[in-house]
Amino acid sequence: YEIGMSHLGIQILYDMFNTREDIYCERVYSPWVDLDKIMREQKIPLFALESQDPIKEFDF
């Protein structure tokens, strides 16, 4: 999250996509290895920041 949100290009694309009526863009960031291990052990799926929906439910 710290790296992704500090990147101005990501912020611009996120805003640009979400200003369109036909697109809804959410963000997801890969957790660091320690949190990834915990999430896998507890079967917590990788999820979007805005909706907390699992990314496996998203259209890409």
pLDDT at 22 exceeding the cut of 90: yes
pLDDT at 21 exceeding the cut of 80: yes
Residue 43, SS3 per DSSP: coil
Residues listed for the chain: 60
Whole-number Cα distances in Å, 50 to 27, 37, 55: 7, 22, 11
Cross-strand partners of 26 = none
Given a contact cutoff of 8 angstroms between Cβ atoms, the answer to whether 26 and 50 are in contact is: yes
CA 52 to chain centre: 9
State the average pLDDT over residues 14-24: 94
